[in-house]
Structure 1
Amino acid sequence: MPKERIQDIVEQLARPIVDAAGLELVDVEFKKEGATWYLRVFIDKPGGVDIDDCSQVSERLSERLDEVDPIPMSYVLEVSSPGAERPLKKPSDFAWAVGRYVRVSLYEPIDGQKVFEGTLDAFDGERLTMACAAHGKGKSGQGVAIRRIDIPLAKVASARLAIAW
């Protein structure tokens, strides 16, 4: 069975468990690292998740996975927070991230650039508007100017929250 199909099945199994715990299902990842397969389920809530949240979801999801048995090979189940650089995949993720600092990589360049970092100012369901720093000389001699860039969602290869340095 393709790993994408496994991820979809696990997402369907995990969603009611995560919802019942008052949490958000951020992402499901199934990948092989070395000889070991990992099933990673990322959860979140305002203020962040703690070890008890992860443990509760892990126990209930493990029971459900044992019942349904959708994964033919052995694997390691990990339930955790998405971390400070939370991925943005669904339109609802982008709507949630408005006002936050993000990193966006594109399938094809816009103005010769494929990676943008800055504040996500707006998202209308089809287009992201970002405020990005444009380093170089401005009217005052040097410094950082802010430029706005509109990015069609269809051009986004990957996106995540980022930490501004």
Structure 2
Amino acid sequence: MSTTQIDRLRELLEPLAARRGMDLEEVVVTPAGRRRVLRVVVDTDEGVGLDACAELSREASQLLDETDVMGGAPYVLEVSSPGAERPLSEPRHYRRAVGRLVRAHLHAGDVLTGRIVAVDEEGVDLQIPGQKGRRPTARRLAWDEIARARVEVEFNRTTASGPRVERQEEA
């Protein structure tokens, strides 16, 4: 059995998440005054809704109360999905972000911003936006080229056919 508290928490919480079809992405314990905050981040290919987080939180809370893994000090449990600017560290993270804009820092020192077009076992295909009226270009990145990457927030996200347009129904 693992010796660190995070490892013990992962061993306890991973089966709960897996039974619900979720991946346990992150477990973090941070001090917050006299208590601690246990943050549990889960995700699926379809995303995770508020109801699913609440159900997992109730089940995890009950299980944590039955064990001594959090010790005797009070704690607050937070269960959530990854944030909008989530870091991408596993191939499944990139697969879930197909169509999204990402910023990738390469081991060679370059920084690329592009839209994920496809993901496979060897790497990721990006569409790099054209600069100053030029056409977008395709760029293939092997997994070992990427030092770190993160999804970028887009307020005016475009689709493959151009800017997204809201339709209004006629009365």
Q: TM-score surpassing 0.5?
A: yes
Aligned residue for 1:82, secondary structure, equals: coil
2:112 pairs with 1:116 = yes
| Unmatched segments (≥5 aa) in structure 1 | 136-141
| RMSD of Structure 2 on Structure 1 (CA) | 3.1
Alpha carbons 2:17, 2:42 under 8 Å: kept: yes
Residue deviations 1:95-136, cap 9 Å, x none? 333333223233442xxx2x322211222223222111242x
Shift of 1:47: 5.8
- 2:146 corresponds in structure 1 to 156
Runs of 4+ in structure 1 off by over 6 angstroms are none
Using the aligned pairs only, state the percent identity: 31
Among candidates 14, 30, 33, match of residue 32 of structure 1: 30
Letter matched to residue 121 of structure 2: G
The structure with the greater share of residues assigned to strand is 1
Q: Structure 1 length normalisation: TM-score?
A: 0.69
Shift of 1:54: 2.0
2:36 pairs with 1:57 = no
Q: How many residues align?
A: 151
- 1:88 corresponds in structure 2 to 88
- 2:98 corresponds in structure 1 to 98
Letter matched to residue 114 of structure 2: G
Q: Structure 2 length normalisation: TM-score?
A: 0.67
| Unmatched segments (≥5 aa) in structure 2 | 156-171
State which structure, 1 or 2, has the greater radius of gyration over its C-alpha atoms: 2
- Matches of 1:73 and 1:160, distance apart in 2: 37
Shift of 1:10: 2.5
- 2:129 corresponds in structure 1 to 133
Shift of 1:61: 1.3
- Matches of 2:59 and 2:8, distance apart in 1: 15
